[in-house]
Structure 1
């Protein structure tokens, strides 16, 4: 096709397997087609947009993916087709989240985009046209904070007793029989933060595996687990949040945790192995995150525990084991850190805390320093004593040791969400909060939380804490 528009449009098409290498092959297709048509100015935007769409298809549709490119005189159109009839839905993630950015970024770099459903699947498409100028940094950042599209299950059939779709029938043959699984005491607030963390890990793991050996990760089974039960738990948690009579008023004006809920799921036998595959994939991603090989940070101990509980309940109940309720985030097991501090990290922490200790001595303020795993890495001796601890007893514990049990779930959900999105309601805001004394009573304190960084670029959180003079201490019931 010549630049002056003579001749038919240049057309290219490829069929790809739903695996981590699909996005790389799709980028090559659009790059070659646009280069051949003399439209190199569109290559960067097209590669970014097609990567997002093909990665989403590989993650969520789990069918073959057809990528088509047509280059016309004044525009190019790229279509990504899969054979999963579930259409994308919008979901909001924060401005620093490492997942959920697909359609907003596609919209920011393209002239137009959309999705078209069909009886056997869907086509997600975008077009590129000559612009007077490239999108500004402000436009791209605005798109970064928009609500996003991602594939989820369609609305459940209200006639189904579990709120799920009835078993599908293919070729006149009924689907495999379903079995009831009861998830008792799901913590909605914690699960919403947990699932957001999972989405970030799984997306990054898929991209990581695109250039490396899969290591036994079965992405098809992972997606089946999401579609068969993980999405249902997510939908129940979101519904609980929507139906709450008002934002749960927590201590100090902070949001509290939603009440636990029970959920009945009707699942096929295949959901058991899929739950195991989901656990394996997330364990792999957590290991890579701890090694700094993913952008996402490792999950909080409670986040890992609640996803293990859901997956294990699915597996065990499908084997006729009676249900076991979620035991909550109040247990001492979560107070002990599972991570050792290497000498290099310890040295960077000492350097970062030198000025903090000097400031504490000069002002008489007490402080607790916490890393991204919620582990206490330093504490002012005077503050520790006021709370009934020796400083050496607190260092190495997780900060939940100082948080009243009834507030722990809301705290860990908020902290996990902050690590995934960068958003926080508490940083830099003076608060009055109860702090847990070693003997179990609550001490009312003035609290100011700040974020700083070590020389290695690791985030560190400083809680400046001062017991309120004359405030009575309470003993939890």
Structure 2
């Protein structure tokens, strides 16, 4: 590590830190040393927390050398953290239970001022804190403009994404970032192979390129709110053009591989982030391969929802399906992949099926009208990831799709009884809607 340090009358230091986990501890140590030498113990706790957060973000999202500088003056402490990523910090609106995405909100709440300055080959994130003795201006939000992003760089590949599911993209992004963070932690001590820090930085670069150009729908996935307005075609975009920097194209292959490897660990129970719906996994494969194939000259292929396959069922250990099959009322059970495990005769009749077995093995989307399916998959993904549960233990009236393609209004109440094995089974009570 090349490290230079100097102290002036008010105190300052500069350091270049390598893209290694030890750099976070080194940054904290430098900050404590500066504030200790200059008698500003009142700033230590806040400054160390903030520099740790910003340097960690640079480490994870850039994977380059990190330039750290701090100057202590009469108006407080100014800290600058530079890295080699062109992507500006992006504010997340993830759930309170999410394992990632709150760093920028924390920064905004604790500083007097902060911003981002672009520089050749990257950016500098800076913040200023004054301590309790000075009352500076209100905090300033992100100062780096969002214009001139990856599309402002010359060497781009023009990628055209067609029929893009916007709500599915938002759910996938949050799930992917959680998976990548845990996969990184699980990989740090693994010998050989690709540098896990660099792998994470490359994968998150691909996610950031997409985030800069794929718009949000305006539908908030709030923990206890139904997405009543999340209907097709309003949650999809016919065409989105994404100028992908040529240097970032290979990062989409890294993203695809990293998520697949992380999902393998998730299925084995080695990371906390759960596997997710087949549509979410298919979306990741589609969007990564669209970038890679179009970079090689292929024509765009629109997103298509994967066919719902009927497969052999594996019932959760210790769960008895007769609690459903013998029920006198409409009752459906589904597992964590949204696959139907058991159906009562009354539920099958309401949905137009002669035999309940016809529904077993299918996924819940098979009885969801098409205009609601993207919202269902996104909502179910967020339920598994962060406990988003607006339908649990709440009676709602919604349309259901019958076997013949017609719709029937039903009253639905979803429960999630524990079965004591770490697995989950969702039980849906359904009945005809009251007139």
Q: Which residue of 1 aligns with 2:101?
A: 100
Q: Considering only aligned residues, what root-mean-square deviation do their CA atoms show, in Å?
A: 4.2
- Rounded Cα–Cα distance in structure 2 between residues aligned with 1:152 and 1:365: 58
- Rounded Cα–Cα distance in structure 1 between residues aligned with 2:379 and 2:178: 16
Higher helix share: 1
The structural deviation recorded for 1:279 is 0.4
Contact in 1 for aligned 2:159/2:294 (Cα 8 Å): yes
**Aligned counterpart for 2:152 among listed residues 155, 165, 173:** 165
SS in structure 1 at match of 2:214: helix
Q: Does residue 405 of structure 1 match 2:333?
A: no
459-468 vs 183-192, greater mean Cα deviation:
459-468
The structural deviation recorded for 1:17 is 2.6
- Rounded Cα–Cα distance in structure 2 between residues aligned with 1:76 and 1:152: 20
Q: Which residue of 2 aligns with 1:294?
A: 271
SS in structure 2 at match of 1:115: strand
Cα 1:282–1:19 change in 2 (3 A) is farther
Q: In the TM superposition, what are the counterparts of 1:34-433 in structure 2 within 5 Å?
A: 48-68=49-69, 79-84=80-85, 86-106=87-107, 110=110, 112=112, 114-117=114-117, 119-120=119-120, 121-125=123-127, 127=129, 129=131, 154-156=146-148, 164-167=151-154, 175=155, 178-213=156-191, 215-216=193-194, 218-227=199-208, 229-232=209-212, 235-238=213-216, 241=217, 253=228, 255-257=230-232, 258-267=235-244, 269-328=246-305, 331-333=307-309, 336=311, 345-347=316-318, 349-350=319-320, 361=327, 364-387=328-351, 388=353, 390-433=355-398
Query: TM-score, with normalisation over the residues of structure 1?
Result: 0.69
- Rounded Cα–Cα distance in structure 2 between residues aligned with 1:105 and 1:86: 19
Where structure 1 has 5 or more consecutive residues not aligned to the other structure, the ranges are 1-6, 132-147, 158-162, 168-174, 245-250, 472-477
- Rounded Cα–Cα distance in structure 2 between residues aligned with 1:263 and 1:116: 27
The structural deviation recorded for 1:40 is 9.0
Contact in 2 for aligned 1:152/1:231 (Cα 8 Å): no
Contact in 1 for aligned 2:399/2:410 (Cα 8 Å): yes
SS in structure 1 at match of 2:125: strand
Where structure 2 has 5 or more consecutive residues not aligned to the other structure, the ranges are 1-7, 134-140, 220-225
Please list the CA deviations of residues 5-56 of structure 1 after superposition, one character each: whole Å capped at 9, or x if unmatched. Answer: xx96776654323355543554565567778999999877666544422222
SS in structure 2 at match of 1:205: helix
Cα 1:252–1:44 change in 2 (3 A) is closer
- Rounded Cα–Cα distance in structure 2 between residues aligned with 1:28 and 1:378: 58
The structural deviation recorded for 1:292 is 3.1
The structural deviation recorded for 1:184 is 1.7
Q: Does residue 17 of structure 1 match 2:18?
A: yes
Cα 1:204–1:124 change in 2 (3 A) is farther
- Rounded Cα–Cα distance in structure 2 between residues aligned with 1:453 and 1:265: 44
- Rounded Cα–Cα distance in structure 2 between residues aligned with 1:19 and 1:152: 26
Contact in 2 for aligned 1:106/1:113 (Cα 8 Å): no
Cα 1:86–1:315 change in 2 (3 A) is closer
SS in structure 2 at match of 1:273: helix
Contact in 1 for aligned 2:338/2:364 (Cα 8 Å): yes
Query: TM-score, with normalisation over the residues of structure 2?
Result: 0.75
Q: Which residue of 1 aligns with 2:223?
A: none
Contact in 1 for aligned 2:335/2:426 (Cα 8 Å): yes
75-84 vs 39-48, greater mean Cα deviation:
39-48
- Rounded Cα–Cα distance in structure 2 between residues aligned with 1:152 and 1:421: 30
The structural deviation recorded for 1:271 is 4.3
**Aligned counterpart for 2:402 among listed residues 437, 444, 468:** 437
